[in-house]
Structure 1
Amino acid sequence: MRNLCMTVSFDGTNYYGFQSQPDGNTIQDHLEEAIRQLTGEKIKIIGSGRTDAGVHAYRQVFNFHTQSAIPLERWCLALNGRLPKDIVILEAREVKPGFHSRHSAKRKTYRYTINANQYPDVFLRHLQLHHPGILDIDAMKEAVTYLIGTFDYTSFASRHSTKQNHVRTIYDAHIEVDRSKCREGHPRDQGVIELFITGNGFLQHMVRIIVGTLLQVGEGKRNPVDIQRILEAKDRSAAGPTAEGKGLMLWNVEYNFMEDKPEPPSFALDEVEEDEADSTE
Protein backbone atom coordinates (compact mmCIF):
# COMPACT_ATOMS: atom_id res chain seq x y z
CA MET A 1 0.00 0.00 0.00
CA ARG A 2 1.44 3.36 -1.06
CA ASN A 3 0.89 6.66 0.74
CA LEU A 4 0.81 9.51 -1.76
CA CYS A 5 0.96 13.18 -0.80
CA MET A 6 -0.25 15.80 -3.28
CA THR A 7 -0.44 19.57 -3.50
CA VAL A 8 -3.55 21.07 -5.08
CA SER A 9 -4.49 24.59 -6.11
CA PHE A 10 -8.13 25.58 -6.51
CA ASP A 11 -10.54 28.45 -7.01
CA GLY A 12 -13.18 27.80 -4.36
CA THR A 13 -15.80 30.18 -5.79
CA ASN A 14 -18.16 27.48 -7.01
CA TYR A 15 -17.65 24.95 -4.21
CA TYR A 16 -19.02 24.34 -0.71
CA GLY A 17 -15.54 24.19 0.77
CA PHE A 18 -12.77 21.60 0.76
CA GLN A 19 -14.20 18.89 3.02
CA SER A 20 -17.05 16.66 1.88
CA GLN A 21 -20.54 17.88 2.80
CA PRO A 22 -23.94 16.14 2.61
CA ASP A 23 -24.89 18.30 -0.39
CA GLY A 24 -21.71 17.40 -2.25
CA ASN A 25 -19.83 19.69 -4.66
CA THR A 26 -16.71 20.08 -2.57
CA ILE A 27 -13.05 19.97 -3.57
CA GLN A 28 -12.65 16.66 -1.74
CA ASP A 29 -15.56 15.14 -3.67
CA HIS A 30 -14.01 16.03 -7.02
CA LEU A 31 -10.54 14.82 -6.02
CA GLU A 32 -11.85 11.48 -4.80
CA GLU A 33 -13.94 11.02 -7.93
CA ALA A 34 -10.93 11.76 -10.15
CA ILE A 35 -8.88 9.16 -8.24
CA ARG A 36 -11.74 6.65 -8.58
CA GLN A 37 -11.91 7.22 -12.32
CA LEU A 38 -8.15 6.76 -12.59
CA THR A 39 -7.58 3.75 -10.33
CA GLY A 40 -11.02 2.23 -9.72
CA GLU A 41 -10.45 2.68 -5.98
CA LYS A 42 -12.98 4.36 -3.71
CA ILE A 43 -10.74 6.14 -1.22
CA LYS A 44 -11.01 8.98 1.29
CA ILE A 45 -8.34 11.64 1.07
CA ILE A 46 -6.92 13.38 4.15
CA GLY A 47 -6.66 17.17 3.78
CA SER A 48 -4.22 19.37 5.68
CA GLY A 49 -7.25 21.36 6.86
CA ARG A 50 -10.69 22.59 5.92
CA THR A 51 -11.56 25.66 3.89
CA ASP A 52 -15.03 27.18 3.93
CA ALA A 53 -17.32 27.75 0.96
CA GLY A 54 -15.86 30.29 -1.44
CA VAL A 55 -12.35 30.11 0.07
CA HIS A 56 -9.44 29.32 -2.23
CA ALA A 57 -6.09 27.54 -1.98
CA TYR A 58 -2.80 28.26 -3.69
CA ARG A 59 -1.15 25.20 -2.12
CA GLN A 60 -3.45 22.84 -0.21
CA VAL A 61 -2.00 19.43 0.71
CA PHE A 62 -3.72 16.05 0.97
CA ASN A 63 -2.66 12.42 1.16
CA PHE A 64 -4.26 9.03 0.57
CA HIS A 65 -3.35 5.36 0.53
CA THR A 66 -3.55 3.46 -2.73
CA GLN A 67 -2.75 0.06 -4.15
CA SER A 68 -2.27 1.54 -7.61
CA ALA A 69 1.08 0.97 -9.30
CA ILE A 70 0.79 4.07 -11.50
CA PRO A 71 4.27 5.69 -11.68
CA LEU A 72 4.61 8.75 -9.46
CA GLU A 73 5.44 11.06 -12.36
CA ARG A 74 2.12 10.27 -14.10
CA TRP A 75 -0.31 11.10 -11.30
CA CYS A 76 -0.55 14.88 -11.68
CA LEU A 77 -1.16 14.82 -15.41
CA ALA A 78 -3.63 11.95 -15.17
CA LEU A 79 -5.70 13.52 -12.38
CA ASN A 80 -5.71 16.99 -13.93
CA GLY A 81 -7.29 15.52 -17.05
CA ARG A 82 -10.19 14.30 -14.89
CA LEU A 83 -10.69 17.36 -12.69
CA PRO A 84 -12.67 20.56 -13.30
CA LYS A 85 -10.64 23.41 -14.75
CA ASP A 86 -10.56 25.32 -11.45
CA ILE A 87 -8.83 22.47 -9.55
CA VAL A 88 -5.20 21.65 -10.42
CA ILE A 89 -2.81 19.11 -8.90
CA LEU A 90 0.63 20.75 -8.75
CA GLU A 91 2.83 18.14 -7.14
CA ALA A 92 2.92 14.50 -6.06
CA ARG A 93 5.30 12.62 -3.82
CA GLU A 94 5.42 9.29 -2.02
CA VAL A 95 5.73 9.43 1.77
CA LYS A 96 5.97 7.01 4.68
CA PRO A 97 2.81 5.04 5.60
CA GLY A 98 2.38 7.07 8.78
CA PHE A 99 2.44 10.48 7.12
CA HIS A 100 -0.76 12.46 7.79
CA SER A 101 -1.24 15.71 5.92
CA ARG A 102 -2.94 17.42 8.87
CA HIS A 103 -1.05 15.97 11.83
CA SER A 104 2.35 16.20 10.12
CA ALA A 105 1.99 19.87 9.14
CA LYS A 106 4.43 22.25 10.83
CA ARG A 107 3.13 25.64 9.68
CA LYS A 108 0.32 27.08 7.61
CA THR A 109 0.15 30.43 5.86
CA TYR A 110 -3.02 32.18 4.78
CA ARG A 111 -3.35 35.23 2.55
CA TYR A 112 -6.32 37.59 2.64
CA THR A 113 -6.74 40.10 -0.19
CA ILE A 114 -8.53 43.44 0.08
CA ASN A 115 -8.98 45.64 -2.98
CA ALA A 116 -8.80 49.18 -1.59
CA ASN A 117 -9.12 50.91 -4.95
CA GLN A 118 -12.24 52.95 -5.60
CA TYR A 119 -13.69 50.38 -7.95
CA PRO A 120 -13.46 46.57 -7.88
CA ASP A 121 -11.33 44.60 -10.30
CA VAL A 122 -13.86 42.88 -12.55
CA PHE A 123 -11.45 40.05 -13.33
CA LEU A 124 -10.42 39.33 -9.72
CA ARG A 125 -13.72 40.09 -8.00
CA HIS A 126 -14.05 36.46 -6.81
CA LEU A 127 -10.61 36.55 -5.17
CA GLN A 128 -10.74 39.92 -3.41
CA LEU A 129 -12.84 41.72 -0.86
CA HIS A 130 -13.56 45.18 -2.26
CA HIS A 131 -13.52 47.93 0.39
CA PRO A 132 -14.94 51.21 -0.99
CA GLY A 133 -13.86 53.48 1.88
CA ILE A 134 -10.51 55.07 2.74
CA LEU A 135 -8.38 52.92 5.05
CA ASP A 136 -5.50 53.84 7.36
CA ILE A 137 -3.16 51.13 6.09
CA ASP A 138 -0.31 52.13 8.43
CA ALA A 139 -2.60 51.59 11.42
CA MET A 140 -3.56 48.17 10.07
CA LYS A 141 0.13 47.28 9.64
CA GLU A 142 0.76 48.22 13.26
CA ALA A 143 -2.27 46.28 14.47
CA VAL A 144 -1.16 42.96 12.97
CA THR A 145 2.08 43.03 14.96
CA TYR A 146 0.08 42.53 18.16
CA LEU A 147 -1.15 39.18 16.84
CA ILE A 148 2.33 37.65 16.69
CA GLY A 149 3.09 35.26 19.53
CA THR A 150 1.39 32.49 21.48
CA PHE A 151 -2.05 33.51 22.74
CA ASP A 152 -5.53 32.25 23.42
CA TYR A 153 -7.35 33.35 20.25
CA THR A 154 -10.89 32.72 21.53
CA SER A 155 -11.87 36.29 20.58
CA PHE A 156 -10.93 35.50 16.97
CA ALA A 157 -12.67 32.12 16.79
CA SER A 158 -16.16 31.34 15.59
CA ARG A 159 -18.72 30.91 18.35
CA HIS A 160 -19.35 27.50 16.77
CA SER A 161 -15.74 26.38 17.22
CA THR A 162 -15.57 22.83 18.61
CA LYS A 163 -11.94 23.08 19.70
CA GLN A 164 -11.43 22.85 23.46
CA ASN A 165 -8.05 24.60 23.28
CA HIS A 166 -7.89 27.96 21.48
CA VAL A 167 -4.20 28.58 22.15
CA ARG A 168 -2.24 28.98 18.93
CA THR A 169 1.12 30.43 17.88
CA ILE A 170 1.36 33.04 15.14
CA TYR A 171 4.92 33.18 13.81
CA ASP A 172 4.44 36.03 11.37
CA ALA A 173 1.73 38.46 10.34
CA HIS A 174 2.34 41.30 7.94
CA ILE A 175 0.64 43.41 5.29
CA GLU A 176 1.88 44.08 1.77
CA VAL A 177 0.38 46.68 -0.57
CA ASP A 178 0.41 46.45 -4.37
CA ARG A 179 -0.29 49.82 -5.99
CA SER A 180 0.41 48.70 -9.55
CA LYS A 181 -3.28 48.84 -10.47
CA CYS A 182 -3.98 52.26 -8.97
CA ARG A 183 -5.20 54.73 -11.58
CA GLU A 184 -2.77 57.56 -12.21
CA GLY A 185 -3.98 60.83 -10.75
CA HIS A 186 -6.68 59.17 -8.62
CA PRO A 187 -5.66 59.52 -4.94
CA ARG A 188 -8.78 57.58 -3.95
CA ASP A 189 -7.11 54.36 -5.16
CA GLN A 190 -5.09 52.80 -2.32
CA GLY A 191 -4.02 49.60 -4.01
CA VAL A 192 -4.48 45.93 -3.20
CA ILE A 193 -3.82 45.05 0.45
CA GLU A 194 -2.61 41.54 1.21
CA LEU A 195 -2.45 40.15 4.75
CA PHE A 196 -0.11 37.18 5.16
CA ILE A 197 -0.38 35.26 8.42
CA THR A 198 1.62 32.16 9.39
CA GLY A 199 0.94 29.96 12.40
CA ASN A 200 1.05 26.45 13.79
CA GLY A 201 -2.70 26.19 13.37
CA PHE A 202 -5.86 28.23 12.93
CA LEU A 203 -9.33 28.19 14.45
CA GLN A 204 -12.61 28.27 12.56
CA HIS A 205 -13.02 31.68 10.85
CA MET A 206 -9.94 32.96 12.69
CA VAL A 207 -8.29 34.75 9.77
CA ARG A 208 -11.58 36.19 8.54
CA ILE A 209 -12.40 37.60 11.99
CA ILE A 210 -8.89 39.06 12.20
CA VAL A 211 -9.47 40.75 8.84
CA GLY A 212 -12.86 42.10 9.90
CA THR A 213 -11.20 43.57 13.00
CA LEU A 214 -8.28 45.03 11.02
CA LEU A 215 -10.73 46.74 8.70
CA GLN A 216 -12.28 48.45 11.72
CA VAL A 217 -8.79 49.65 12.65
CA GLY A 218 -8.31 50.93 9.12
CA GLU A 219 -11.67 52.73 9.29
CA GLY A 220 -10.65 54.48 12.52
CA LYS A 221 -13.22 52.62 14.63
CA ARG A 222 -10.48 50.95 16.69
CA ASN A 223 -6.88 51.70 17.60
CA PRO A 224 -4.07 49.26 16.71
CA VAL A 225 -3.35 48.56 20.39
CA ASP A 226 -6.96 47.40 20.80
CA ILE A 227 -5.83 44.05 19.39
CA GLN A 228 -4.12 43.36 22.73
CA ARG A 229 -7.32 44.03 24.68
CA ILE A 230 -9.34 41.88 22.27
CA LEU A 231 -6.96 38.95 22.82
CA GLU A 232 -7.10 39.39 26.58
CA ALA A 233 -10.92 39.43 26.54
CA LYS A 234 -11.16 35.84 25.21
CA ASP A 235 -14.64 36.75 24.00
CA ARG A 236 -15.83 36.60 20.38
CA SER A 237 -18.00 39.69 20.88
CA ALA A 238 -14.87 41.77 21.60
CA ALA A 239 -13.59 41.40 18.01
CA GLY A 240 -14.91 42.69 14.69
CA PRO A 241 -17.14 41.01 12.12
CA THR A 242 -16.22 37.99 10.02
CA ALA A 243 -14.92 39.10 6.61
CA GLU A 244 -16.21 37.43 3.44
CA GLY A 245 -14.66 34.12 2.49
CA LYS A 246 -13.82 35.05 -1.09
CA GLY A 247 -10.75 37.10 -0.12
CA LEU A 248 -9.16 34.21 1.79
CA MET A 249 -6.63 31.81 0.32
CA LEU A 250 -4.69 28.99 1.94
CA TRP A 251 -1.26 30.05 0.74
CA ASN A 252 1.09 27.32 1.91
CA VAL A 253 1.44 24.32 4.21
CA GLU A 254 4.93 23.43 5.45
CA TYR A 255 6.30 20.01 6.39
CA ASN A 256 9.63 18.53 7.31
CA PHE A 257 9.66 15.96 4.55
CA MET A 258 13.22 14.97 5.43
CA GLU A 259 11.72 13.15 8.42
CA ASP A 260 9.74 11.00 6.02
CA LYS A 261 12.50 10.44 3.43
CA PRO A 262 10.10 10.94 0.50
CA GLU A 263 10.70 10.44 -3.14
CA PRO A 264 11.57 13.65 -5.00
CA PRO A 265 8.46 15.71 -5.87
CA SER A 266 6.93 15.24 -9.31
CA PHE A 267 6.06 18.55 -10.95
CA ALA A 268 3.54 18.35 -13.77
CA LEU A 269 2.93 21.99 -14.73
CA ASP A 270 5.37 21.94 -17.64
CA GLU A 271 3.88 18.70 -18.94
CA VAL A 272 0.35 20.09 -18.71
CA GLU A 273 1.27 23.24 -20.62
CA GLU A 274 2.76 21.13 -23.40
CA ASP A 275 -0.51 19.27 -24.04
CA GLU A 276 -3.46 21.60 -24.63
CA ALA A 277 -5.94 18.74 -24.37
CA ASP A 278 -4.97 18.19 -20.73
CA SER A 279 -4.45 21.84 -19.84
CA THR A 280 -6.28 23.04 -16.76
CA GLU A 281 -5.72 26.71 -17.47
Structure 2
Amino acid sequence: MPRFALKIEYDGRPFAGWQAQADQPSVQGTVEAALARLDAGFAAGARIAAAGRTDAGVHATGQVAHADLVRDWDPARLCEALNFHLRPAPIAVLAAARTGDDFHARFSAVQRRYLFRLIARRAPMTHLRGLVWQVRNTLDADAMRQGAAQLIGHHDFTTFRSSICQARSPLKTLDDIAIDEVAIPHGREYRFSLTARSFLHNQVRSIVGTLERVGAGAWPPERVGTALAARDRAACGPVCKPHGLYLTGVGYPEDPFAT
Protein backbone atom coordinates (compact mmCIF):
# COMPACT_ATOMS: atom_id res chain seq x y z
CA MET A 1 0.00 0.00 0.00
CA PRO A 2 1.47 3.40 -0.92
CA ARG A 3 2.36 5.59 2.06
CA PHE A 4 1.77 9.34 2.01
CA ALA A 5 3.03 12.06 4.33
CA LEU A 6 0.55 14.86 4.99
CA LYS A 7 1.41 18.33 6.26
CA ILE A 8 -1.61 19.59 8.17
CA GLU A 9 -2.72 22.96 9.53
CA TYR A 10 -5.57 23.34 11.99
CA ASP A 11 -7.34 25.58 14.46
CA GLY A 12 -7.54 23.53 17.64
CA ARG A 13 -10.46 25.35 19.24
CA PRO A 14 -13.30 23.02 18.13
CA PHE A 15 -11.40 19.84 18.96
CA ALA A 16 -10.62 17.78 22.06
CA GLY A 17 -7.07 17.43 20.72
CA TRP A 18 -5.38 15.56 17.89
CA GLN A 19 -6.07 12.02 19.07
CA ALA A 20 -9.28 10.30 17.98
CA GLN A 21 -11.85 9.92 20.75
CA ALA A 22 -15.12 8.04 20.72
CA ASP A 23 -17.34 10.79 22.08
CA GLN A 24 -15.57 14.06 21.22
CA PRO A 25 -14.43 15.72 17.99
CA SER A 26 -10.73 15.34 17.20
CA VAL A 27 -8.40 16.42 14.43
CA GLN A 28 -7.34 12.84 13.75
CA GLY A 29 -10.93 11.64 13.56
CA THR A 30 -11.90 14.44 11.19
CA VAL A 31 -8.99 13.76 8.82
CA GLU A 32 -9.71 10.03 8.90
CA ALA A 33 -13.37 10.68 8.07
CA ALA A 34 -12.25 12.68 5.02
CA LEU A 35 -9.89 9.87 4.00
CA ALA A 36 -12.73 7.37 4.36
CA ARG A 37 -14.55 9.23 1.58
CA LEU A 38 -11.58 8.58 -0.72
CA ASP A 39 -10.03 5.28 0.33
CA ALA A 40 -11.41 1.80 1.00
CA GLY A 41 -8.84 1.14 3.72
CA PHE A 42 -9.96 4.11 5.78
CA ALA A 43 -13.59 3.28 5.10
CA ALA A 44 -12.80 -0.05 6.77
CA GLY A 45 -11.17 1.62 9.81
CA ALA A 46 -7.51 2.33 8.93
CA ARG A 47 -5.77 4.97 11.06
CA ILE A 48 -3.24 7.73 10.49
CA ALA A 49 -0.22 8.43 12.70
CA ALA A 50 1.00 11.93 13.59
CA ALA A 51 4.27 13.47 14.71
CA GLY A 52 2.66 15.00 17.81
CA ARG A 53 -0.57 14.44 19.71
CA THR A 54 -1.52 18.04 20.42
CA ASP A 55 -3.88 18.72 23.34
CA ALA A 56 -7.34 20.25 23.27
CA GLY A 57 -7.23 23.84 22.03
CA VAL A 58 -3.68 23.60 20.66
CA HIS A 59 -3.18 24.63 17.03
CA ALA A 60 -0.84 23.55 14.24
CA THR A 61 0.67 25.14 11.18
CA GLY A 62 3.00 22.22 10.40
CA GLN A 63 1.69 18.97 11.88
CA VAL A 64 2.84 15.88 9.94
CA ALA A 65 0.92 12.61 9.65
CA HIS A 66 1.25 9.57 7.43
CA ALA A 67 -1.43 7.41 5.84
CA ASP A 68 -1.28 4.09 3.98
CA LEU A 69 -3.76 4.23 1.10
CA VAL A 70 -5.11 1.63 -1.27
CA ARG A 71 -4.84 3.93 -4.28
CA ASP A 72 -1.57 5.50 -5.46
CA TRP A 73 -2.73 9.10 -5.66
CA ASP A 74 -1.08 12.03 -7.34
CA PRO A 75 -0.07 14.04 -4.23
CA ALA A 76 -1.53 17.34 -5.47
CA ARG A 77 -4.85 15.70 -6.27
CA LEU A 78 -4.87 13.99 -2.88
CA CYS A 79 -4.49 17.40 -1.21
CA GLU A 80 -7.35 18.86 -3.21
CA ALA A 81 -9.63 15.91 -2.54
CA LEU A 82 -8.92 15.89 1.19
CA ASN A 83 -9.45 19.63 1.54
CA PHE A 84 -12.78 19.29 -0.28
CA HIS A 85 -13.98 16.63 2.15
CA LEU A 86 -12.58 18.40 5.21
CA ARG A 87 -14.84 21.41 4.74
CA PRO A 88 -16.12 23.16 6.82
CA ALA A 89 -13.76 21.94 9.58
CA PRO A 90 -10.87 24.38 10.30
CA ILE A 91 -8.31 21.88 8.98
CA ALA A 92 -6.25 22.12 5.80
CA VAL A 93 -3.83 19.71 4.18
CA LEU A 94 -1.00 21.97 3.01
CA ALA A 95 1.02 19.30 1.20
CA ALA A 96 1.10 15.58 0.48
CA ALA A 97 4.08 13.49 -0.55
CA ARG A 98 4.64 9.85 -1.50
CA THR A 99 7.14 8.29 0.91
CA GLY A 100 8.86 4.97 1.44
CA ASP A 101 7.37 2.37 3.73
CA ASP A 102 10.07 3.10 6.31
CA PHE A 103 8.84 6.67 6.87
CA HIS A 104 6.90 7.14 10.09
CA ALA A 105 5.51 10.56 11.00
CA ARG A 106 6.28 10.09 14.70
CA PHE A 107 9.23 7.74 14.95
CA SER A 108 11.20 9.15 12.00
CA ALA A 109 11.05 12.69 13.38
CA VAL A 110 14.29 14.19 14.69
CA GLN A 111 12.99 17.64 15.58
CA ARG A 112 9.76 19.32 16.64
CA ARG A 113 9.17 23.07 16.68
CA TYR A 114 6.56 24.89 18.71
CA LEU A 115 5.50 28.53 18.85
CA PHE A 116 3.66 30.11 21.75
CA ARG A 117 2.00 33.49 21.19
CA LEU A 118 1.45 35.71 24.23
CA ILE A 119 -0.07 39.18 23.90
CA ALA A 120 0.09 41.87 26.55
CA ARG A 121 -2.57 44.53 26.25
CA ARG A 122 -5.35 45.83 28.45
CA ALA A 123 -8.20 45.73 25.91
CA PRO A 124 -9.80 42.31 25.33
CA MET A 125 -8.83 40.33 22.25
CA THR A 126 -11.29 40.28 19.35
CA HIS A 127 -9.81 38.80 16.16
CA LEU A 128 -7.23 36.67 17.99
CA ARG A 129 -9.46 35.42 20.79
CA GLY A 130 -8.68 31.75 21.34
CA LEU A 131 -5.53 31.99 19.23
CA VAL A 132 -3.22 33.68 21.76
CA TRP A 133 -2.80 33.87 25.52
CA GLN A 134 -3.47 37.38 26.81
CA VAL A 135 -2.07 39.12 29.87
CA ARG A 136 -2.75 42.74 30.82
CA ASN A 137 0.72 44.15 31.52
CA THR A 138 3.87 44.25 29.41
CA LEU A 139 6.67 41.82 30.22
CA ASP A 140 10.44 42.09 30.52
CA ALA A 141 11.66 40.10 27.51
CA ASP A 142 15.33 40.28 28.54
CA ALA A 143 14.55 38.80 31.95
CA MET A 144 12.57 35.99 30.30
CA ARG A 145 15.52 35.28 27.98
CA GLN A 146 17.82 35.04 31.02
CA GLY A 147 15.43 32.57 32.61
CA ALA A 148 15.00 30.58 29.40
CA ALA A 149 18.77 30.22 28.90
CA GLN A 150 18.91 28.02 32.02
CA LEU A 151 16.65 25.44 30.34
CA ILE A 152 18.74 24.93 27.20
CA GLY A 153 20.47 21.57 27.00
CA HIS A 154 19.94 18.07 28.37
CA HIS A 155 18.07 18.07 31.68
CA ASP A 156 15.63 16.25 33.88
CA PHE A 157 12.45 18.24 33.14
CA THR A 158 10.29 16.68 35.87
CA THR A 159 9.38 20.18 37.11
CA PHE A 160 7.95 21.07 33.70
CA ARG A 161 6.21 17.76 33.08
CA SER A 162 2.50 17.03 33.50
CA SER A 163 1.64 14.62 36.29
CA ILE A 164 -0.15 12.45 33.70
CA CYS A 165 2.75 12.45 31.23
CA GLN A 166 3.29 8.94 29.84
CA ALA A 167 6.88 9.41 28.67
CA ARG A 168 9.25 6.79 30.07
CA SER A 169 11.83 9.35 31.17
CA PRO A 170 11.78 13.05 32.12
CA LEU A 171 15.20 13.50 30.48
CA LYS A 172 14.97 15.70 27.38
CA THR A 173 17.28 17.93 25.37
CA LEU A 174 15.90 21.40 24.69
CA ASP A 175 17.85 22.71 21.71
CA ASP A 176 16.66 26.31 21.66
CA ILE A 177 14.24 28.85 23.10
CA ALA A 178 13.97 32.16 21.23
CA ILE A 179 11.80 34.96 22.60
CA ASP A 180 10.85 37.72 20.16
CA GLU A 181 9.03 40.88 21.20
CA VAL A 182 6.87 42.61 18.60
CA ALA A 183 5.00 45.89 18.91
CA ILE A 184 1.28 45.66 18.10
CA PRO A 185 -1.42 48.35 18.32
CA HIS A 186 -1.93 49.16 22.01
CA GLY A 187 0.23 46.31 23.23
CA ARG A 188 3.12 43.90 22.74
CA GLU A 189 3.33 40.35 21.43
CA TYR A 190 5.87 37.87 22.80
CA ARG A 191 6.64 34.87 20.59
CA PHE A 192 8.31 31.89 22.26
CA SER A 193 9.89 29.49 19.75
CA LEU A 194 11.02 26.16 21.24
CA THR A 195 12.92 23.41 19.42
CA ALA A 196 13.69 19.87 20.58
CA ARG A 197 13.68 16.33 19.28
CA SER A 198 10.64 15.67 21.46
CA PHE A 199 8.76 17.25 24.35
CA LEU A 200 7.10 16.00 27.51
CA HIS A 201 3.37 16.43 28.03
CA ASN A 202 2.65 20.08 28.90
CA GLN A 203 6.37 20.93 28.83
CA VAL A 204 6.04 23.94 26.54
CA ARG A 205 3.04 25.38 28.38
CA SER A 206 4.77 24.85 31.72
CA ILE A 207 7.91 26.61 30.52
CA VAL A 208 6.04 29.57 29.02
CA GLY A 209 3.86 29.95 32.10
CA THR A 210 6.97 30.01 34.28
CA LEU A 211 8.78 32.50 32.05
CA GLU A 212 5.73 34.79 32.10
CA ARG A 213 6.16 35.00 35.88
CA VAL A 214 9.76 36.11 35.27
CA GLY A 215 8.67 38.69 32.69
CA ALA A 216 6.02 40.03 35.06
CA GLY A 217 8.63 40.51 37.79
CA ALA A 218 7.11 37.91 40.13
CA TRP A 219 10.14 35.59 39.74
CA PRO A 220 13.83 36.53 39.41
CA PRO A 221 15.38 34.86 36.34
CA GLU A 222 17.60 32.58 38.45
CA ARG A 223 14.53 30.98 40.02
CA VAL A 224 13.91 29.15 36.70
CA GLY A 225 17.16 27.23 37.17
CA THR A 226 16.27 26.53 40.80
CA ALA A 227 12.88 25.18 39.74
CA LEU A 228 14.50 22.96 37.08
CA ALA A 229 17.00 21.57 39.59
CA ALA A 230 14.22 20.82 42.09
CA ARG A 231 12.80 18.13 39.77
CA ASP A 232 9.48 18.76 41.50
CA ARG A 233 6.23 19.66 39.77
CA ALA A 234 5.33 21.91 42.71
CA ALA A 235 8.29 24.15 41.84
CA CYS A 236 6.84 24.98 38.41
CA GLY A 237 5.12 28.26 37.65
CA PRO A 238 1.53 28.30 36.40
CA VAL A 239 0.78 26.19 33.32
CA CYS A 240 -0.55 28.58 30.70
CA LYS A 241 -3.68 28.03 28.63
CA PRO A 242 -3.40 26.06 25.36
CA HIS A 243 -4.79 28.85 23.15
CA GLY A 244 -1.45 30.34 22.17
CA LEU A 245 0.39 27.10 21.37
CA TYR A 246 1.15 26.00 17.80
CA LEU A 247 3.02 23.00 16.43
CA THR A 248 4.85 24.78 13.63
CA GLY A 249 7.10 22.13 12.15
CA VAL A 250 8.59 18.66 12.28
CA GLY A 251 12.10 17.82 11.09
CA TYR A 252 13.16 14.57 9.42
CA PRO A 253 16.52 13.29 8.17
CA GLU A 254 15.10 13.86 4.69
CA ASP A 255 12.24 16.32 4.21
CA PRO A 256 9.37 14.32 2.67
CA PHE A 257 7.92 17.50 1.19
CA ALA A 258 11.09 18.78 -0.47
CA THR A 259 10.52 19.37 -4.17
Q: Supply the distance in 1 between the matched residues of 2:7 and 2:257 (Cα, whole angstroms).
A: 14
Q: CA deviation at 1:263?
A: 7.8
The C-alpha deviation readout for 1:119-143, integer Å capped at 9, x for no partner, is 2331011111110134222211221
Q: Supply the distance in 1 between the matched residues of 2:221 and 2:87 (Cα, whole angstroms).
A: 42
Other-structure match for 1:249: 246
Q: Is the 8 A contact 2:76 2:95 kept in 1?
A: no
Q: CA deviation at 1:145?
A: 1.3
Q: Supply the distance in 2 between the matched residues of 1:94 and 1:153 (Cα, whole angstroms).
A: 36
Other-structure match for 2:237: 240
Asked if residue 97 in structure 1 is aligned to residue 94 in structure 2, the reply is no
Q: CA deviation at 1:219?
A: 1.8
2:66 equivalent among 63, 66, 77? 63
Aligned-residue RMSD, C-alpha: 1.4
Q: Is the 8 A contact 1:95 1:263 kept in 2?
A: no
1:229 equivalent among 226, 231, 245? 226
Unaligned runs of 5+ in 1: 184-188, 266-281
Q: Supply the distance in 2 between the matched residues of 1:197 and 1:62 (Cα, whole angstroms).
A: 20
Asked if residue 35 in structure 1 is aligned to residue 35 in structure 2, the reply is yes
Q: Is the 8 A contact 2:40 2:70 kept in 1?
A: no
Other-structure match for 2:77: 74
Asked if residue 106 in structure 1 is aligned to residue 86 in structure 2, the reply is no
Matching residue's letter, 2:238: P
Q: Is the 8 A contact 2:96 2:257 kept in 1?
A: no
Aligned residues: 255
Q: Supply the distance in 2 between the matched residues of 1:220 and 1:255 (Cα, whole angstroms).
A: 39
Q: Supply the distance in 1 between the matched residues of 2:11 and 2:114 (Cα, whole angstroms).
A: 14
The C-alpha deviation readout for 1:185-217, integer Å capped at 9, x for no partner, is xxxx3x111100000110001101111111111
Matched-pair identity in %? 33
Q: Supply the distance in 2 between the matched residues of 1:24 and 1:65 (Cα, whole angstroms).
A: 25
Q: How does 1:81-230 map to 2 (within 5 A)?
A: 81-85=84-88, 86-179=90-183, 181-183=184-186, 189=187, 191-230=188-227
Q: Supply the distance in 1 between the matched residues of 2:73 and 2:204 (Cα, whole angstroms).
A: 38
TM-score normalised by length of structure 2: 0.94
The C-alpha deviation readout for 1:50-87, integer Å capped at 9, x for no partner, is 11100000100000111113222211011000003410
Q: Is the 8 A contact 1:145 1:174 kept in 2?
A: no
Q: Is the 8 A contact 1:8 1:91 kept in 2?
A: yes
Q: Supply the distance in 2 between the matched residues of 1:30 and 1:202 (Cα, whole angstroms).
A: 25
TM-score normalised by length of structure 1: 0.87
